[in-house]
Amino acid sequence: MDISKDLIRGHTDTIILNILSQGDSYGYQVSKSIRQLSSKQYELNEATLYTAFRRLEKVGDIRSYWGDQTQGARRKYYTLTDQGQEHFKSAQQEWDFAKDIISHLISGRIKDYDER
């Protein structure tokens, strides 16, 4: 079974912030990390990834810099800012709250709850 891209679309920024909260990274490595974290069940396409990078950089959640060329091609790295770290913490809290509610809405049985 494949996960719907619609289910993940609203969480792309948070996914990227999670990866960058663990250390600076470049596009291909972020993409690879997403595949690994999802046990190869989800892949973020390149256009979506770089659009998210630009959006996150524009609002100040991440910044980019060019890496050292000693290991092959020059890579653009992304790093989380202090603001990005705060945004990530807030997004984690929102996700924890929302997933519980969504779970109840999708799996809950009305008769299990009091009508008050």
Q: Please state the domain extents for the chain.
A: 5-111
- 28, 65 Cβ separation under 8 angstroms: no
Q: Is 77 or 114 the better-scoring residue by pLDDT?
A: 77
Q: Of 83, 75, 32, 38, give the one whose Cα is nearest residue 57.
A: 83
pLDDT above 70 as % of the chain: 94
- Write down the mean pLDDT value for the chain: 91
5's tokens: 């891209």
Local structure of 3: helix, strand or coil: coil
Q: Render pLDDT for 64-86 as a digit per residue (tens, 0 to 9).
A: 999 887 767 789 999 999 999 99
> Rounded mean pLDDT of 1-29?
90
Q: Of 13, 14, 23, 11, give the one whose Cα is nearest residue 79.
A: 23
Q: Render pLDDT for 45-56 as a digit per residue (tens, 0 to 9).
A: 999 999 999 999
> Rounded mean pLDDT of 12-33?
97
Domain 5-111, CATH 2.40.50.200 — does that match? Answer: no
The answer to whether the predicted template modeling score (pTM) of the entire model surpasses 0.85 is yes
